[in-house]
């Protein structure tokens, strides 16, 4: 059963997870069946016709052969008898000398159908009316008959010249079928082998072709999805930066006005009596600073939607992403510990890609963890030009069956309406794009650990 599963092509169980986009749906299994059916029909039809023609041809040849061999025996017998003077005697002599049996039953009958010599099929001599002589309306010929015991036979006959006697050679029909069986068996064998071969090759070709269509279709959908996702991200980025920009202006006004109030408080004596006013103004300024931090982060994030290679500090990138997800972490009361003891030089990389990678991984970790989970990120310089970063959680883990598929697009363990199933596949693509690698280790119920390897381009150590 397992081996059969391996043979099963990938498209067999294909279901369009992205069902909402119906223009990409394509029933591969049905297409495959149709293709196989149609091609098989077209290939097997001529084969069957040819075999039938051959069958009837062979049958006729064999029948002809039987006929000719029987009539040869009969005519030669008749001829040899006709040369002698006492026809009756020599006929009897001939019969006696020839060995009658199941295969060759030779006997003589008179015109009334009475046996003159013993016959294997028709009994002792003297039995009259046993043979339907009316069958024999010519000098010689071959007819089909049924023995008194109900056995189908073929009877060859020849009238002995100048007498009323008829010389009969009866052969069992079984003999004929035996003769016929061999070529027929051969034919059937040939047909069966051909059918199997043709069906196998048709199925193979169809599987290959449909498989190819399936994989191309998949790749196309994947690319489409990727583009769509990127577009979505880009427009979210544009929205975020627009909002941030627009908020920055009124924020600046609040900032300056409050600052002026504060200036006036400190400059003029009139307000010094109330010692609550200055701290209040300072609180407003603090809030403005906080808002400024938010808009700056939004802008920072939006900016990196467009790829640009620049020197990056990996610790800073991780810090930014964590700052972005701080609220989520607090809501789930997840403890985050970052271990970046190593001195890591800045390196040339697309900051946006790195942010996206960490955002996806950390978000996934959050989704896998219960409240009060523990997320550990460690950044280590394993080799001179290779960075190893591990992101490990103590969440629900990934089962062995799923772990091979998690980087595949459209694969999602979350409810379908929750995730696009693209997060990790995009992460994978981004890591490959920056020349890195990603590995995953997981055990159910204990947690998951993603290990990233990112190359650091040499010579940009102090790139800033």
Partner 1 sequence: MKQVYQKLDVSKKSSVEMPSKVLLVDDEKEFVLTLSERLQIRDMGTAIVYDGKSALDLVRNDAPEVMIIDLKMPGIDGMEILKEVKQSRSEIEVIVLTGHGSGQDRKKCMDMGAFAYMQKPVNINILSETLKKAHEKIKTGK
Q: By CB under 8 A, name the binding residues for partner 1.
A: 241, 245-246, 248-249, 251-257, 259-260, 263, 267, 288-289, 291-292, 296, 299, 303, 310
Name the nearest CA neighbour of 9 among 220, 194, 277, 205.
205
**Alpha-carbon distances, residue 45 vs 50, 54, 340 (angstroms):** 9, 14, 73
CB of 354 to partner 1, least distance (A): 15
Distance CA 25, CA 15 (A): 8
CB of 429 to partner 1, least distance (A): 24
CB of 458 to partner 1, least distance (A): 24
Residue 194: both structure tokens together = 């051909």
Distance CA 139, CA 78 (A): 11
CB of 241 to partner 1, least distance (A): 8
* Closer residue to partner 1, CB minimum distance, 350 or 393: 350
Q: For residue 405, count CB atoms less than 10 angstroms from its CB and return exposed for 0-12, middle for 13-18, buried for 19 or more.
A: middle
CB of 249 to partner 1, least distance (A): 5
Q: Are 79 and 94 in contact (CB under 8 A)?
A: no
Which three-class secondary structure state does DSSP give residue 463? coil
CB of 360 to partner 1, least distance (A): 23
* Closer residue to partner 1, CB minimum distance, 291 or 403: 291
Distance CA 349, CA 454 (A): 10
**Residue that the structure tokens 């970790």 belong to:** 365
Distance CA 431, CA 48 (A): 58
* Closer residue to partner 1, CB minimum distance, 259 or 319: 259
Q: Are 166 and 111 in contact (CB under 8 A)?
A: yes
* Closer residue to partner 1, CB minimum distance, 137 or 308: 308
* Closer residue to partner 1, CB minimum distance, 152 or 307: 307
Rg, C-alpha atoms of the chain? 49
CB of 227 to partner 1, least distance (A): 23
CB of 307 to partner 1, least distance (A): 13
CA angle 22, 27, 28 (to 5 degrees): 135
* Closer residue to partner 1, CB minimum distance, 27 or 266: 266
* Closer residue to partner 1, CB minimum distance, 21 or 245: 245
**Alpha-carbon distances, residue 78 vs 74, 132, 164 (angstroms):** 6, 20, 13
Residue 205: both structure tokens together = 């070709």
* Closer residue to partner 1, CB minimum distance, 130 or 288: 288
């Amino acid at each position: 059963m397992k081996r059969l599963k391996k043979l099963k092509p990938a498209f067999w169980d294909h279901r369009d997870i992205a069902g909402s986009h119906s223009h990409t749906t394509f029933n591969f299994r049905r297409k495959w069946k149709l293709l196989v059916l149609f091609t098989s029909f077209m290939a097997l039809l001529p084969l069957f016709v040819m075999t039938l023609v051959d069958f009837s041809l062979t049958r006729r040849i064999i029948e002809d052969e039987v006929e000719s061999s029987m009539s040869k025996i009969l005519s030669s017998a008749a001829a040899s008898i006709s040369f002698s003077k006492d026809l009756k005697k020599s006929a009897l002599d001939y019969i006696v000398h020839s060995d009658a049996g199941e295969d060759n039953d030779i006997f003589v009958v008179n015109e009334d159908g009475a046996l003159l010599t013993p016959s294997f099929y028709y009994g002792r001599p003297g039995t009259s009316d046993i043979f339907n002589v009316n069958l024999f309306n010519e000098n010689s010929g071959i007819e089909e008959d049924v023995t008194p015991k109900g056995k189908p036979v073929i009877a060859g006959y020849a009238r002995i010249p100048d007498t009323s006697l008829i010389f009969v050679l009866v052969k069992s029909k079984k003999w004929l079928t035996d003769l016929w069986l061999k070529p027929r068996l051969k034919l059937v064998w040939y047909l069966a082998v051909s059918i199997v071969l043709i069906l196998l090759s048709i199925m193979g070709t169809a599987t290959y072709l449909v498989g190819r269509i399936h994989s191309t279709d998949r790749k196309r959908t994947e690319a489409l999805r990727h583009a769509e996702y990127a577009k979505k991200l880009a427009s979210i980025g544009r929205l975020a930066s627009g909002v941030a920009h627009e908020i920055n202006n009124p924020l600046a006004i609040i900032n300056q006005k409050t600052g002026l109030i504060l200036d006036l408080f400190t400059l003029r004596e009139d307000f010094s009596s109330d010692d609550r006013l200055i701290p209040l103004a300072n609180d407003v300024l603090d809030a403005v600073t906080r808002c400024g931090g938010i808009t700056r982060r939004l802008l920072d994030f939006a900016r990196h939607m467009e790829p640009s290679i620049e020197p990056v500090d990996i610790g800073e990138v991780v810090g930014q992403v964590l700052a972005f997800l701080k609220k989520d972490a607090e809501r789930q009361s997840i403890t985050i510990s970052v271990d970046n003891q190593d001195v890591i030089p800045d390196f040339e990389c697309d900051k946006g890609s790195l942010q996206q990678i960490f955002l996806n991984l950390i978000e996934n970790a959050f989704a896998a963890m219960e409240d009060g989970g523990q997320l550990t990120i460690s950044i280590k310089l394993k080799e001179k030009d290779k960075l190893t970063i591990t992101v490990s959680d103590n969440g629900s883990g990934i089962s062995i069956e799923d772990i091979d598929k998690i980087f595949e697009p459209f694969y999602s363990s979350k409810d379908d309406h929750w995730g696009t199933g693209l997060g990790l596949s995009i992460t994978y693509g981004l890591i490959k794009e920056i020349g890195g690698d990603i590995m995953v280790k997981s055990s159910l119920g204990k947690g998951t650990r993603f290990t990233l390897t990112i190359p650091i381009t040499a010579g940009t150590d102090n790139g800033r």
